[in-house]
């Protein structure tokens, strides 16, 4: 898997392109939601094996999990929006933000060169999947394992294949906002 921080940074960059407010609150929440699927590592403490649907990269790395989590999050966090009605355009913008953030996690994990794959379509199809192109070095689980092993190699591959594209998304968004503001100021 990419490191937990990389998941958060990539999701925050993607969240800029969803129709929720572009506030620090929503960007930080998007980053946090991208980190949530790895809470499944607690399964190891309960003796649940990696390959089990409740194991690492199992159900919490599925599209269904991302959709349900985003639904609950939108019910909670869309309340401070105007027109609080479930299903309105504002509600769906918040849902989309959290869905994109959460589903980015398994998609990034599918780019890694290790592990058993991701149960992206669980619970309907429990096979573990990877993309055909897997350039990201898999991060060892645990803080000590990361720094005693291939930590720098992992960070290097993450910065190249995830960090730079995420930075590119942020720069493009800032250019777009600058041009939009520049255009509006010319109209006034």
> pLDDT tens, 85-107?
666 777 888 899 999 999 999 99
| Run of H or E including 89 | helix 89-109
Note the pLDDT tens digit of each residue in 26-82. Answer: 999 999 999 999 999 999 999 999 999 999 999 999 999 999 999 999 888 886 555
**Cα–Cα distance between 2 and 87 in angstroms, integer?**
33
Q: What is the pLDDT of residue 79?
A: 63
Q: What is the pTM of this model?
A: 0.85
Burial of 83 (0-12, 13-18, 19+ CB in 10 A): exposed
CB-CB contact of 102 with 70 (8 Å): yes
Per-residue pLDDT at 145 exceeds 80? no
Q: What is the pLDDT of residue 78?
A: 80
3-class DSSP state of 106:
helix
> Which distant-in-sequence residues (6+ apart) come within 8 Å of 37 by Cβ?
60, 61, 65, 102, 105, 106
* Phi and psi at residue 10, to the nearest 5°: -65, -40
The candidate with the shortest Cα–Cα distance to 43, out of 51, 34, 35, is 51
- Indicate the number of domains in the chain: 1
**Cα–Cα distance between 91 and 82 in angstroms, integer?**
9
* Phi and psi at residue 48, to the nearest 5°: -80, 125
Q: What is the pLDDT of residue 188?
A: 64
Tell me which residue range forms the domain holding 18: 4-187
């Amino acid at each position: 898997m990419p490191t937990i921080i990389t998941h958060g940074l990539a999701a925050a960059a993607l969240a800029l392109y969803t129709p929720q407010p572009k506030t620090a609150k929503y960007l930080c929440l998007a980053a946090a939601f991208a980190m949530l699927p790895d809470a499944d590592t607690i399964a190891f403490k309960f003796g649940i094996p990696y390959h089990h649907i409740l194991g690492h990269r199992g159900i919490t790395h599925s599209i269904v999990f991302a959709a349900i989590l985003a639904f609950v999050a939108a019910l909670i966090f869309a309340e401070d929006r105007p027109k609080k009605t479930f299903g309105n355009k504002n509600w769906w913008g918040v849902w989309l933000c959290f869905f994109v953030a959460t589903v980015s996690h398994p998609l990034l994990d599918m780019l890694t060169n290790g592990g058993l794959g991701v149960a992206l379509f669980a619970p309907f199809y429990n096979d573990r999947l990877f993309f055909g192109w897997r350039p990201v070095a898999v991060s060892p689980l645990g803080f000590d394992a990361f720094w005693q092993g291939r930590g720098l190699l992992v960070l290097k591959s993450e910065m190249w294949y995830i960090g730079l594209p995420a930075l590119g998304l942020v720069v493009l968004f800032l250019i777009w906002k600058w041009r939009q503001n520049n255009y509006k100021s010319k109209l006034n």
